[in-house]
Amino acid sequence: LGQFGWVITTTEVVNGKTITTRKIIEDGKETKEVEEDGRLKSVTINGKDYTNSQRQEHKK
């Protein structure tokens, strides 16, 4: 109880590509996810980019 969050989703077409941006605010944490044509392109949590660190983990 007492927990709530926001999810703001925007979708736009840029140069023929569908760009979807999701901003999730929950428990003081802000997560931003950007998808291009359904593929996750970036993840930022509280301003820190986690995109490359996730890709590095998958390569191990």
Chain CA centroid to CA 60, Å: 23
Q: How much is the pTM?
A: 0.75
pLDDT value at residue 51: 87
pLDDT 10s digits, 6-57? 999 999 999 999 999 999 999 889 999 999 999 999 999 999 999 876 544 4
Backbone angles phi, psi at 59, to 5 degrees: -80, -20
Decide which of 24 and 59 is more confident.
24
